[in-house]
Structure 1
Amino acid sequence: MTIAQGKAPVTTDLTESATPAPESLRPWFTELGLIPTVRDTSVPFAHVPQAATMIVLRTEDCGPRDALVLGPRTRASYAEADKPMGCLRLRLAPGAVGPLLGVSAGELTDRIVRLADLPGPAAQFAGELVELRRDELFPYLEQRLPQRIRESPAQVSHRELLRTAVESVSGRAMPATVPALAGTLAVSERQLRNLFSSGIGVSPKHYTRIDRIRRVLTRLGTSPWSHLAVGAGYYDQSHLTAEFRSLMGVAPGSFLGGTRLPIEPCRPAIYGRTISGTGILRSAPL
């Protein structure tokens, strides 16, 4: 590990362009993102916290084509690429991990696995997805995916309830507490936590923390820190600083200045023993 000095990291939020999923695929996908090939390998790259599971299709510049699944990321990590990199990212909708991938989202948190190694129906398309162009992905999935999905009425109900819960807390200046959100949705707090754990991979509280820090990241440099803190729902600037350090690994000023970033070299995912009962291969931490 090295400590970066002097260059603010590039983040996916600033480089990715996204296309919303068509209505027919909305139960399972929210968008298709393109991270263009980054050729300046001297600038650190920040993998920021995110509360979604994604199917990532690597481009040829990044090595052999492969379809990977990136689970929710609870903390940021920083890398310095040794060659140009870019990818396509299919972002899964809340509650879609089980129907598509055949596992709980919680089993994928802070993990990378190959799509083909998962037991769900999406694994059947892994080899074909990597060969498709960006404009071919949604039409292909519209044609092939719906007839492969098998959901019970209870699963559909849970997925729709989770989507409503996520819409209720995302982007709010003052996020609802877990008891208040559970009351609004007419479920117990335990049910709500279980919904988030299995359908998203993080708790409701951690989802809110990630949502707020991502909003701050998109607005860095546009307003004073005190204004950013209030706009994102923090008590004050010191609360924002503490949360930023906890999730991003460095203080806000260090992040903006590119100083003291814990840089790790980019490396392929490492696969090892299976997770008991699922057949999923464990990967190295993201």
Structure 2
Amino acid sequence: MTTRHPAHTLTDELIETTVAAPESLRPWITELGHIPTVTDVSLPFTHIPQAATTIVLRAEAAGHREAMVVGPQTKATYSRAEKPAGCVRLRLEPGATRQLLGVPATDLANRVFRLADFPGVAADLADELTHLAPEEVLPFLEDVLPQHISEDPTQRAHRTLLRTAVAAMSAAAPTPVHELAADLAVSERQLRNLFTTGVGVSPKHYARIGRVRHILANAGNTSSAQPATTGYYDQPEVKVPLTSLAQVAAENGYYDQSHMSADFKALMGVPPTRFFRGNLPAPAPCRAISGLARPA
């Protein structure tokens, strides 16, 4: 069953304003995203795959606030908002999940948790973070976060290695895993473990997510134009790609068009032609908050 939505294919990033984290926070946070309060909750909302763990500070129009952790999302989800709300999203640097949250990223994939439930240092800041205005969040973290985190040389070396690996797998034509492992002087098994622990997905799946996100961005589904108001109907309309799917496939490092379409469908739930026509999967309820398993 699908929902025909010809005028808009709304993604979270379409209505999000992002700010790069300052240099003092870059070991742990890459950027802050702000989605203003959305008042029109009648239309489906698309969350595209994201290979990053995110701290989400959600504020409902009625006043309720909560701090959550959203693990890496390996497939798109389609939902409708239950209440008017906005949020601030702090995307974590690859490898920072254990330092900030006290758990490996692989434990968080495709799940949502309460920030206060984690054993890491970020949980201690949950209450204060939920009461800050979006523009206050990064300055607050600059003041308090470095004082709460210590890092030994081994952790620093692993983080540096992971950053290099992530950059290689983010390219339009990602380096094959066996070649990347050789370049980094580690085994393929070590490289995969580094990714799953620090990012939450395998190197291959990280690259797949990156390529689909690049297709969406360059097909006009995400936009640098920021909304002037907070209603869905005020957002830019989605644009169907003007180039052929074969050209899109070639530009994004796919062997051929059918390979790209299969990858796109696996991650987005529908082939690219249907997605860009707004023929989307039926929206489902928002993902429930999971309980965090603690060591015995």
For normalisation by structure 1, the TM-score amounts to: 0.91
Output the amino acid matched with 2:66: D
Q: Residues 63 and 185 (structure 1 numbering): CA distance in 2 closer, same or farther, change over 3 Å?
A: farther
Q: 1:13 offset after TM fit, Å?
A: 2.5
Q: 1:201 offset after TM fit, Å?
A: 0.2
Structure-2 residue corresponding to 1:240? 260
Structure-1 residue corresponding to 2:216? 217
Q: Is 1:13–1:218's contact at 8 Å kept on the other side of the alignment? A: no
Q: Residues 132 and 190 (structure 1 numbering): CA distance in 2 closer, same or farther, change over 3 Å?
A: same
SS for the counterpart of 2:42 is: coil
Aligned residues: 274
1:158 and 2:158 aligned: yes
Q: 1:190 offset after TM fit, Å?
A: 0.8
Q: Is 1:11–1:47's contact at 8 Å kept on the other side of the alignment? A: yes
Q: Is 2:60–2:83's contact at 8 Å kept on the other side of the alignment? A: no
Q: 1:9 offset after TM fit, Å?
A: 2.6
Output the amino acid matched with 1:195: L
Q: Is 1:229–1:237's contact at 8 Å kept on the other side of the alignment? A: yes
Q: Is 1:219–1:228's contact at 8 Å kept on the other side of the alignment? A: no
Structure 1 regions of 5+ residues with no counterpart? 279-286
* CA RMSD between the two structures: 1.7
Aligned-partner Cα distance in 1 for 2:85–2:249: 33
| Deviations 1:201-257 (CA, angstroms, capped at 9, x unpaired) | 000000000000000111222532222111111111111110011001111122122
Q: How does 1:84-123 map to 2 (within 5 A)?
A: 84-123=84-123
Q: Residues 64 and 109 (structure 1 numbering): CA distance in 2 closer, same or farther, change over 3 Å?
A: same
Q: 1:276 offset after TM fit, Å?
A: 5.2
Q: 1:82 offset after TM fit, Å?
A: 3.5
Aligned-partner Cα distance in 1 for 2:210–2:111: 19
Structure 2 regions of 5+ residues with no counterpart? 220-240
Q: 1:62 offset after TM fit, Å?
A: 7.5
Of the structure 1 ranges 213-222 and 33-42, higher mean CA displacement relative to structure 2 is found in 33-42
Q: Is 2:57–2:87's contact at 8 Å kept on the other side of the alignment? A: yes
Structure-1 residue corresponding to 2:279? 259
Structure-2 residue corresponding to 1:275? 293
Structure-1 residue corresponding to 2:185? 186
Aligned-partner Cα distance in 1 for 2:242–2:54: 29
| Deviations 1:174-199 (CA, angstroms, capped at 9, x unpaired) | 11110011111111111100100100
Q: How does 1:64-83 map to 2 (within 5 A)?
A: 64-83=64-83
Aligned-partner Cα distance in 2 for 1:241–1:38: 32
Aligned-partner Cα distance in 2 for 1:222–1:135: 37
Q: 1:117 offset after TM fit, Å?
A: 0.2
Aligned-partner Cα distance in 1 for 2:116–2:83: 25
For normalisation by structure 2, the TM-score amounts to: 0.88
Q: Residues 209 and 62 (structure 1 numbering): CA distance in 2 closer, same or farther, change over 3 Å?
A: farther
Q: Residues 270 and 55 (structure 1 numbering): CA distance in 2 closer, same or farther, change over 3 Å?
A: closer
The list of structure 1 runs, each at least 4 consecutive aligned residues, that deviate by more than 4 angstroms after superposition, is none
Aligned-partner Cα distance in 1 for 2:182–2:290: 42
| Deviations 1:140-181 (CA, angstroms, capped at 9, x unpaired) | 1111111111222111110111011111221x2211110011
SS for the counterpart of 1:103 is: coil
Q: 1:41 offset after TM fit, Å?
A: 2.3
Identity among equivalent positions (%) equals 54
Q: 1:6 offset after TM fit, Å?
A: 2.9
Output the amino acid matched with 1:103: V
Q: Residues 260 and 30 (structure 1 numbering): CA distance in 2 closer, same or farther, change over 3 Å?
A: closer
Q: 1:63 offset after TM fit, Å?
A: 6.3
Q: Residues 63 and 107 (structure 1 numbering): CA distance in 2 closer, same or farther, change over 3 Å?
A: farther
Output the amino acid matched with 2:87: C
Aligned-partner Cα distance in 1 for 2:81–2:273: 23
Aligned-partner Cα distance in 2 for 1:162–1:81: 35
Of the structure 1 ranges 78-87 and 242-251, higher mean CA displacement relative to structure 2 is found in 78-87
Structure-2 residue corresponding to 1:198? 197
Q: How does 1:24-35 map to 2 (within 5 A)?
A: 24-35=24-35
Aligned-partner Cα distance in 2 for 1:252–1:62: 37
